[in-house]
Structure 1
């Protein structure tokens, strides 16, 4: 069964509310890391842009639907869901993607992601012109292989698809620093070839640059 990935972009009513939300998510993440073998990733993030004091991101990964359902049924998680439904927490149009999955083996995680002091996190949304996603796949494969084999400062990288949006791809990226992203990863031949050969296929590209606020990004020793 494919791993199930959840991505949420949420807008809280105030910085104080966001701080409380982070506390709740951090506790849920601590519990998941210790007690939920099917929960592989459970982390919350704030924007790198410190002027944005109310946006909150959540990224979760499960071994499948059963692990997701088990997590959601936990009493503390149900209490948090009820709290979110009070009308006192969120505002605006949130973005929630509940059924994302990796493309084949287009992902890797290094053990160093567990100990990185201030990793630079990026989540990219790529909207392609209808029917063109397949043309981008060989280039993404090369990007993942380059990162896995030759970029020790690229701590996590995954190309993700949404079965409900065939023209969308997503990239989950974690680097040891912002400088590593721009000075090493972006300058790699694989990325430059991808840009040169697939940029014209895209209708839109949105980047979210994030800072880890709570939870965990990896269990065990990483993946090849």
Structure 2
């Protein structure tokens, strides 16, 4: 994952006019000195202002620099054009060809490396929007993020991203949001978003219904009747009950290095194991659909008293799911635990 947030220096936003596929890209300009970056910014700011007035087919033109002040050498541009003819017309405009191209080719040691251009492609569903307030914002918080999934994984997250875009449309301070494909990598998505402020991004968008936080835990003494996870669950119920309400589900990964893939039987179809909490069947389906999508035949196993997920299900009453591969060893350990409990 790559996460970048920016201070905008120039913004130009127009409505999309053409019906053809747009040309949309994100460019990194690695200059060799701060003075050269400032000169580049001045020239591109002039181009942005000219394009905003004279090129209605330039639907987005933003010049941005990283927030925080730690990088004084790099500038970025976000550019979208209605179609290929509009883009080619922009490149041939005198201001662009002289103020940018001629200057950059005649300036020695301008770049520390070649500018890096990342193209974006629109996805089949309506996964982008831009509000009129974006063009008027004085200092929006702009975020560009890339997310790389395992083979076939993009297909399984599209429903989530459709929900994310729909929710963002209703957020008054989310001014622009889009999810895009990567023409160079079918397993990567890009998001481009702009918010009225960093505070709005942190306190509203990131805490919206579709935004979830992940908490990772490594449990101690699982073989001793889940000593670590059992303590964790009881500690939450006794001392931090509000934290229990924040937990949506628990996923357990145990002995996943080799062997057949086994996933939790959340819908009870195996006819064995402990009763499950609501939505455990959804977790099972996510597992099975994912493995089917990458050509792996996973098998179902009953949810039982054989790993740390048990305590989240029975103590916290949460939906659980697991992924395990060393099934026979897990069964032997489960038998040992039952004997241990009976002795205790």
Q: CA deviation at 1:109?
A: 1.1
Aligned counterparts of 1:125 and 1:52: Cα–Cα separation in 2: 20
Are 1:145 and 2:166 an aligned pair? Answer: yes
RMSD across aligned C-alpha pairs, in angstroms? 2.2
Aligned counterparts of 1:187 and 1:174: Cα–Cα separation in 2: 16
- Where has structure 1 moved over 6 Å in runs of 4 or more? 193-198
Q: CA deviation at 1:137?
A: 0.8
Q: Deviations over 1:139-175 (max 9, x none)?
A: 00000000002x1000100111122321111100100
1:171 alignment partner, one of 185, 188, 191: 191
Write the mapping of 1:24-39 to structure 2, written as runs, cut at 5 A: 24-39=43-58
Residue number in structure 1 paired with 2:15: none
Residue number in structure 2 paired with 1:180: 200
Aligned counterparts of 2:64 and 2:184: Cα–Cα separation in 1: 25
Aligned counterparts of 2:122 and 2:199: Cα–Cα separation in 1: 26
Residue number in structure 2 paired with 1:76: 95
Residue number in structure 2 paired with 1:61: 80
Are 1:13 and 2:41 an aligned pair? Answer: no
Q: CA deviation at 1:24?
A: 0.7
1:112 alignment partner, one of 95, 110, 133: 133
Secondary structure of residue in 1 paired with 2:207: coil
Residue number in structure 2 paired with 1:123: 144
State the aligned residue count: 197
Q: Which has the higher strand share?
A: 1
Q: CA deviation at 1:193?
A: 8.5
CA contact (8 A) 1:125 1:171 kept: yes
After TM superposition, the score normalised by the length of structure 1 is 0.81
Aligned counterparts of 2:90 and 2:50: Cα–Cα separation in 1: 10
After TM superposition, the score normalised by the length of structure 2 is 0.54
Aligned counterparts of 1:49 and 1:93: Cα–Cα separation in 2: 24
Aligned counterparts of 2:214 and 2:194: Cα–Cα separation in 1: 19
CA contact (8 A) 1:159 1:171 kept: yes
CA contact (8 A) 1:140 1:194 kept: no
Secondary structure of residue in 2 paired with 1:24: helix
Aligned counterparts of 1:50 and 1:22: Cα–Cα separation in 2: 15
CA contact (8 A) 1:5 1:62 kept: yes
Secondary structure of residue in 2 paired with 1:186: helix
Residue number in structure 1 paired with 2:315: none
Unaligned 5+ segments in structure 1 are 202-224
CA contact (8 A) 1:9 1:57 kept: yes
Deviates more, 1:60-69 or 1:107-116: 107-116
